[in-house]
Structure 1
Amino acid sequence: MKHLWQPPKLRVSEEDGEERHATWLELFYDLVFVVVIAQLAHHLKDHPSAAGFTEFAVVFVPVWWSWVGTTFYATRFDTDDTLHRVLTVIQMSAIAAMAVNIHKGMDYASVGFALSYVIVRGILVIQYLVAGQHIAIARPLTNRYAKGFGLAAAIWALSTLVSIPWRFGMWCLGMVIDFATPIGAGKLHGQIAPHASHLPERFGLFTLIVLGESIVAVVGGLAAQKWEFAAIVAGVLGLCIAASVWWVYFDNLDGSAIRSARLGQVGTYQIWLYAHLPLVASLTAMGVGMQKLLSGNMSAALPDENRWLLCLALAICYAALGFIHLSTDAGSLRRSQTQALERFSAAILLSLIAWLGWNLSPLTLMFLLAAICISQVVLAHFGMHHIKPEEIGE
């Protein structure tokens, strides 16, 4: 039987060598984001234009930040008592309300979306205030978080009292404060850096959620087609693209960025963290692009907006992977830099295809994209087996 309430305790020590894994509560919490990501993807599918992508991005950021906030609190202070579980379920309910309001989140549903976000962040502020009262060493960081996140939540709450487009201006101001609060914490991150095995696993699980949307997209796109050769091959290529991204990302998922923060290299840790935002947003958009391609006319040139959506989503994905590689230990500094260069090169090639591939058929486009993605796996595999002993630690 769980305790009704336990004082928060610091859970970042790794002196005993113990690995931490996601709790059942954290996995349950992630389920609501499966729904939110699906709703975001559905909205982008209905609005694949530049304006639609902008709306998608504006709404995606607070959704991802909601997950990040709860995850970082849990990795440092989670006690898994009854009260913590209840608060988590309340946050899940508010996030579900965000999902309900996504389709009109830039219109009349923006009030509901904003209030849902305020509830999620308000609970987080309370949790940090309580943690600071019981853990003296964490108090400088928790007080900073409580003040910054509290101010941002207040701005979001006040935004419901003003009209559009001023409301969205206040959202942007609130998000700037939200992001600036941890960015400006400096060496405080290193003093109580998150657990080096628990946090990467949590980010990996969220990445799996958005990659799952790509699988759903391939299946959904094929379900709308007759079982013709071109559609089947394009579907297989779509799975190859998703698998390639999974391969490259998870082969480099470790806690080295967090260990860098403990050594005072906070910038490396923050690059790793914030590069995940464009990564997961672009993976969601990539799934939408693949579904639109696979469900369309396979014998005609792909519409420009669909080509741009798919190619640029993949380009952003690989650019984000490049920054993640720069902040991750790949066996040597030289190897990390080489991996980053390979991912940036892929991003440039994908952008060129978006720009120049105006007359490509869907199948030809998928061949080109899959070839680039698979080549990244080959390069990664080749590079990992050719690290010279003298390069280790460079």
Structure 2
Amino acid sequence: MTNFLQPPRLRIGEDSEEERRATWLELFYDLVFVVAISQLAHNLKGDISFSGFLGFVFLFIPVWWSWIGTTFYANRFDSDDVGRRLLVSLQMLTAAAMAINIHHGLGESSAGFALAYTFGRVVLIIEYIRAGIHIPSARLLTTHYAIGFAIAAFFWLISAFVPIPWRFALWTLGIIIDFATPLTAYKLQIKLLPHASHLPERFGLFTIIVLGEAIIAVVNGVSEQKWDISTVISAVFGLVIAFSLWWVYFDNLGGTPIQTARQEGKLTIANLWLYTHLPLVIGIAATGIGVEQVLLSQSELALPDSQRWLLCGSLGLCLLAISVLHRTGVIRYCKIRSQYRLVGAVVLIAIAIFGKGLLPVTVIMVVAVVSAVQVIQDLYQSRPTTRLVDPEI
């Protein structure tokens, strides 16, 4: 461990080709977001209407973006000095404060949520300023980020002192500026591209966190019900859905978009890969709640429309996002897999529209079959004989 005054280490040039793994500090930091995602899921479980889903998404975005901010900073400025550890501890406190305020995050505790997010951004701004001071070659990028994030944080700060709904209008403006800040640093980012092996691993770890909530949802759904054959079968189908999502995502996870950006000098694919993860993790988290609602439904009655739409719509969103990720070139044969994901999403939406009157076990069975077909297609296409047919598919 280095001292507080020693500059952070910037990984560029030849360092960008090194294999790199998540640090213990990053893994420890992720634990706070396990709690935050759990609180978000709790909110959605309490209101699975369309407005409840929109509220879930509205709170999910700043939570995800907080994690993204710290992750991207650590990806470019990897250090383990005292200052870095202290700053991360402060970020953990702000993330914990966000989690505490999520339960009534669109009501009485929305001001506390806004302040927690603001202070988290302030810590990130301090980190970028610190990096820019020590590393002249990164100063233009760190200054751009610090200014953009500071403007966004200002709107979040003043939102805590204005009434609803104007508070939420300022949140929206702040998030737009937050999202736009990296996008408007195109030329600066090309010179300091993210690490091609570290970043996919970090995104994978966050996806694991959200998938964990899906597993918890299955356990909760079964534990709160009287066990019968229908409940057991539905629980198995719920696990099949979660396992299928894990399979099709992690079997196709890689740093190809970042490598492409490095080779071709284009960030469009890398940015698409990054931002597409937002609907993916939102969909995974909501799918878990959808599975839980199915398990809690009375097996002899038709599944309510809101629960059917939550399960099918959320999983459809996941497959649509994964379809886009395939088209970013994360693997060979990505076009065919992308088409299968897209067809799966369409089938799920059709079930949501035309599945009125279906029993809960029937709905989750059909959804599980759609999910399993995605895995079967990957296995079929991965056969050695298939790979020899057309390597450019």
TM-score, normalised to structure 2, is 0.96
Displacement of 1:387 after TM fit?
A: 4.8
> Structure 1 residue 16: deviation in Å?
8.2
Structure 2 CA distance for aligned equivalents of residues 196 and 389 of structure 1: 27
Give the superposition deviation at 1:137: 2.2
Q: For 1:81-110, what per-residue CA distance to the aligned partner results, in whole angstroms no more than 9, with x for missing partners?
A: 111111111111111111111111111211
Q: Distance in 2 between matches of 1:389 and 1:287?
A: 38
- Partner of 1:309 in structure 2? 310
1:14–1:195 Cα contact (<8 Å) kept: no
5+ long unaligned stretches in structure 2 = none
Deviation for aligned residue 1:19: 1.0
Amino acid at match of 2:377: L
Deviation at 1:375, TM superposition (A): 0.3
Choose 65-74 or 289-298, whichever is displaced more.
289-298
User: Residue type matched to 2:329 in 1?
Assistant: T
Distance 1:138 1:2, change over 3 A: closer
AA at the equivalent of 2:314: A
Match of 1:368 in 2: 366
Aligned position for 1:171: 171
- Residue identity matched to 2:361: L
CA deviation vs aligned residue, 1:298-349 (integer Å, no higher than 9, x gap): 2211111111111100010000001111113322xxx212111111111111
- Alpha-carbon distance, 1:141 to partner: 1.6
Structure 2 partner of 1:92: 92
Partner Cα separation in structure 1 for residue 132 and residue 68 of structure 2: 19
- Correspondence for 1:59: 59
Label 1:330 to 1:299 Cα distance change in 2 as closer, same or farther (>3 A).
same
Instruction: Give aligned pairs, total.
Output: 391
Q: 1:132 to 1:387 in 2, by over 3 A?
A: farther
Give the structure 1 partner of residue 377 of structure 2.
379
Give secondary structure in 2 for the equivalent of 1:101.
helix
Give the TM-score taking structure 1 as reference length: 0.96
Give the Å deviation of 1:14: 4.8
Alignment of 1:327-338 (within 5 A): 327-331=328-332, 335-338=333-336
| Rounded Cα–Cα distance in structure 2 between residues aligned with 1:242 and 1:388 | 27
Q: How many angstroms apart in 1 are the aligned matches of 2:13 and 2:37? A: 33
Cα distance in 1, alignment partners of residues 351 and 200 from structure 2: 32
Deviations 1:121-176 (A, max 9, x none): 11111111121122222222211111111100011001112111011001000001
Question: Structure 2: how far apart are the matches of 1:49 and 1:62?
Answer: 21
Aligned-partner Cα distance in 2 for 1:266–1:371: 36
Q: Which residue of 1 aligns with 2:282?
A: 281
Q: Distance in 2 between matches of 1:143 and 1:393?
A: 42
Contact preservation (8 Å) 2:20, 2:197 = yes
| CA root-mean-square deviation | 1.5
Q: Does residue 10 of structure 2 align to residue 41 of structure 1? A: no
Q: Which residue of 1 aligns with 2:209?
A: 209
Is 1:319 equivalent to 2:317 in the alignment? no
Query: Which residue in the other structure is 1:145 paired with?
Result: 145
Contact 1:189 1:261 in 2 (8 A): no
Find the aligned partners of 1:195 and 1:393 in 2 and give their Cα distance.
Answer: 26
Task: Name the SS for the 2:9 alignment partner.
Answer: coil
Q: Is the 8 A contact 1:252 1:328 kept in 2?
A: no
Q: Distance in 1 between matches of 2:296 and 2:5?
A: 51
Identify which range, 286-295 or 197-206, moves more after superposition: 286-295
Write out aligned runs for 1:229-240 (5 A). Answer: 229-240=229-240
* TM superposition shift of 1:34: 0.4
Secondary structure, counterpart of 1:157 in structure 2: helix
From 348, 351, 356, give the equivalent of 1:350: 348
Q: Deviations over 1:211-263 (max 9, x none)?
A: 00011000100001122111001101100000000000001111101112212
The answer to whether the 8 A contact 2:17-2:196 is kept is: no
Q: Determine if contact 2:253/2:330 at 8 Å carries over to the other structure.
A: no
Unaligned runs of 5+ residues in structure 1 are none
35-44 or 103-112: bigger deviation: 103-112
Deviation at 1:78, TM superposition (A): 2.2
Runs of 4+ in 1 over 2 A off after TM superposition: 1-6, 12-18, 187-190, 384-394
Structure 2 Cα separation of the partners of residues 258 and 22 of structure 1: 17
Q: Aligned AA for 1:339?
A: R
* AA in 1 matched with 2:306: E
CA shift in 2, pair 1:201/1:54, >3 Å: same
Residue in structure 2 matched with residue 260 of structure 1 by the alignment: 260
SS at match of 2:10: coil
Please give the secondary structure, in 2, of the residue aligned with 1:329: coil
Letter in 2 for 1:364: T
Distance in 2 (CA, whole Å) between partners of 1:287 and 1:374 is 16
Cα offset, 1:393, TM superposition: 5.9
Query: Retained in 2: the 8 A contact 1:254–1:328?
Result: no
